[in-house]
Structure 1
Amino acid sequence: MYNNLFTEAGLSKNEAVIYEYLLKNGESPALNITKNTPLNKGVVYVALNELIDKGLITEKLLPPKNPHVRNKKKIAYFSPEHPEKLRAYLSDQEAKLKKAQNSLEANLGELVSSFNMVSDRPGLRYFEGLAGIKQVTEDSLKTAGEIYTYLDTENTVKKIEEINNEYVKRRLALGIKKKIINADNPYTREHMRKHQQWDAEDSQLTQVKILDHRVCHFDTIMQIYDDKISYISFANDRQVGVIIQDPTITAMHKEIFLFNWSRARTLRELEQPGQIFSKPT
């Protein structure tokens, strides 16, 4: 009568048969269940143990209730728990499913990337919102090498300052080196003065240079590390992140970055006499 209800709640067909039998007949030994259901002895014991694990029935060792039985050795009797336990079981399963879903979401990108790499296709992951931006940012903390970054300081400070501060703290604690090419604008220079970032070698872990003032502003952070490239876009007040995983594409961008790095200049070089910032015409 209730078999479909119980199977929809997550019980196997055999468990549903036994659980319904116990609800209707009360405390019973396995022998009675075997005699009064279409299940054989082995299947009954397996299903009984599963129902015990689920918290839906209990087991007690009691003397035989039949007074004519000569062997008075205790036998196992199984009793159903209150049907409210089924609701509790469902809630527990929902919580486990939610946890599994969150775990899958957190690791799906890596799984897709692995699949794409085996399939000779670039891995591509897409993220949205501040939580997504945080994931994109923190992915580079897994690197085994140095990070190359194109950065607009103003956007970073004004839009993801808290995320960036925590990221920098963790990166430095992990001892991960980073080269940063900043977009040249008044905000960037003032920020670098404030933090005493005059020379590329001011920090053992962080080297900063400024790209030619003709590249005055951009709305994307780009990070290059291992065999990945990540982008964070702030255009039109969006919060969008993308990670591409492909060794060939990444190798090309590393070469382009190092080319730009060799031509970028430090704040000290730019602010020597005759090198004062002026807006592009």
Structure 2
Amino acid sequence: MPQLRKAFESIGLGHKEIGVLEVLLQGGLMYAAAVAKGAKLNRTTTYGILKELSGKGLVSSTKQQGVLRYQSIAPELLPGYIERRGKELLDMKTEVAEMVPQLQLMRSKGSVLPKVQFFEGAEGMQQAYEDTLEGNREKKIRDITGIDAVVNNLDQKFVTYYLEKRARLGIECTDVVPETELSKKSKDDDKKYLRETRFIPSKFNFDGEISIYDNKVGIFSYAPKAPAAIIIEDKTIAHMMKQLFDYLATTAKA
């Protein structure tokens, strides 16, 4: 797919990285050895490239029976990934978006995707955040957020980008947060961002976030040296978390 390869080149990927990513896009969930064979690389090189792609938010991993398996980000998230790189890539984003049905078809022929995905580093975590927006069928997010850590530990340009995109997509958010000076200031923007902020006591402050949406639960760690995220896709778990959240929201202060 020359257009897809050109798109990856435009965001700075090398030919070996592109080769590995193309193998994963077509193969779905794969062992490193299978990726190496498909990309025609040795295992040592492949492991290094998988680590690089994980850091860029393009690959995630899951452990099954003690062995790591790898997969690319979902094809439908590729347009959002490119969008963050600026307006000059919008034309390329459109081309990639047109390829999504073909990529999904190829991927559906591979292994069944796991229900848990891990995202490492700042780029990986940002890609996990994109998942809360792209294809959000309910147009609703239930959030439990450590606002102080958002302000102190996250890239504020990305935070603004995310909030504006969420509002632009018409996705409403109920956010339960520890009551601090920063969270009270953040509440002033509730109307702008289609958000309802509710407060719990400040003694319950924390450095992370839980996002509940559709049939997924996203868990985000804002640890400065090792930001990471986990997305769990399971209807029963998501329903349980929604019930717990709704109870918490009713006890929180408006």
1:130 alignment counterpart: 122
C-alpha separation between the residues in 2 aligned to 1:129 and 1:262? 34
Residue of structure 2 aligned with 1:156, choices 150, 158, 162: 150
The answer on whether the counterparts of 2:200 and 2:252 sit within 8 Å (CA) in structure 1 is: yes
Question: CA, structure 1 residues 191+265, in 2 after alignment: closer, same or farther (shift >3 Å)?
Answer: same
Equivalent AA in structure 2 for residue 97 of structure 1? G
| Structure 2 SS opposite 1:241 | strand
Question: CA, structure 1 residues 157+103, in 2 after alignment: closer, same or farther (shift >3 Å)?
Answer: farther
C-alpha separation between the residues in 2 aligned to 1:237 and 1:97? 30
2:137 alignment counterpart: 144
1:189 alignment counterpart: 184
The answer on whether the counterparts of 1:109 and 1:125 sit within 8 Å (CA) in structure 2 is: no
Structure 1, unpaired ranges of 5+:
1-91, 118-122, 267-281
Query: Equivalent residues in 2 for 1:235-274 (5 A)?
Result: 235=223, 237-266=225-254
1:205 alignment counterpart: 194
C-alpha separation between the residues in 2 aligned to 1:209 and 1:95? 44
Question: CA, structure 1 residues 103+258, in 2 after alignment: closer, same or farther (shift >3 Å)?
Answer: same
Residue of structure 1 aligned with 2:163, choices 165, 168, 172: 168
Identity of aligned residues (%): 21
Structure 2, unpaired ranges of 5+:
1-13, 27-57, 60-70, 75-106
Question: Shift in Å at residue 177 of structure 1?
Answer: 1.0
| Structure 2 SS opposite 1:182 | strand
Question: Shift in Å at residue 153 of structure 1?
Answer: 1.1
C-alpha separation between the residues in 1 aligned to 2:15 and 2:183? 51
The answer on whether the counterparts of 2:132 and 2:213 sit within 8 Å (CA) in structure 1 is: yes
C-alpha separation between the residues in 2 aligned to 1:157 and 1:261? 22
Question: Shift in Å at residue 246 of structure 1?
Answer: 0.6
Off by >4 Å, runs of 4+ in structure 1: 92-96, 101-107, 109-112
The answer on whether the counterparts of 1:129 and 1:240 sit within 8 Å (CA) in structure 2 is: yes
Residue of structure 2 aligned with 1:228, choices 195, 216, 230: 216
Question: Shift in Å at residue 134 of structure 1?
Answer: 0.6
Equivalent AA in structure 2 for residue 156 of structure 1? V
CA RMSD of the aligned region, Å? 2.9
Equivalent AA in structure 1 for residue 72 of structure 2? L
Query: Equivalent residues in 2 for 1:97-116 (5 A)?
Result: 97=19, 100-101=22-23, 103=25, 105=58, 108=72, 110=74, 115=112
The answer on whether the counterparts of 2:148 and 2:183 sit within 8 Å (CA) in structure 1 is: yes
In our comparison, the structure showing a higher alpha carbon Rg is 1
Once the two structures are superposed, residues 68-101 of structure 1 have per-residue CA deviations (whole angstroms, 9 ceiling, x without a partner) of xxxxxxxxxxxxxxxxxxxxxxxx9858625515
Query: Equivalent residues in 2 for 1:209-220 (5 A)?
Result: 209-215=198-204, 217-220=205-208
2:31 alignment counterpart: none
Query: Equivalent residues in 2 for 1:35-114 (5 A)?
Result: 97=19, 100-101=22-23, 103=25, 105=58, 108=72, 110=74
Question: CA, structure 1 residues 170+103, in 2 after alignment: closer, same or farther (shift >3 Å)?
Answer: farther
C-alpha separation between the residues in 2 aligned to 1:163 and 1:149? 17
C-alpha separation between the residues in 1 aligned to 2:22 and 2:113? 23
User: Between Structure 1 and Structure 2, how many residues are aligned?
Assistant: 162
The answer on whether the counterparts of 1:152 and 1:219 sit within 8 Å (CA) in structure 2 is: yes
Query: Equivalent residues in 2 for 1:5-16 (5 A)?
Result: none
The answer on whether the counterparts of 2:21 and 2:72 sit within 8 Å (CA) in structure 1 is: no
Question: CA, structure 1 residues 96+223, in 2 after alignment: closer, same or farther (shift >3 Å)?
Answer: closer
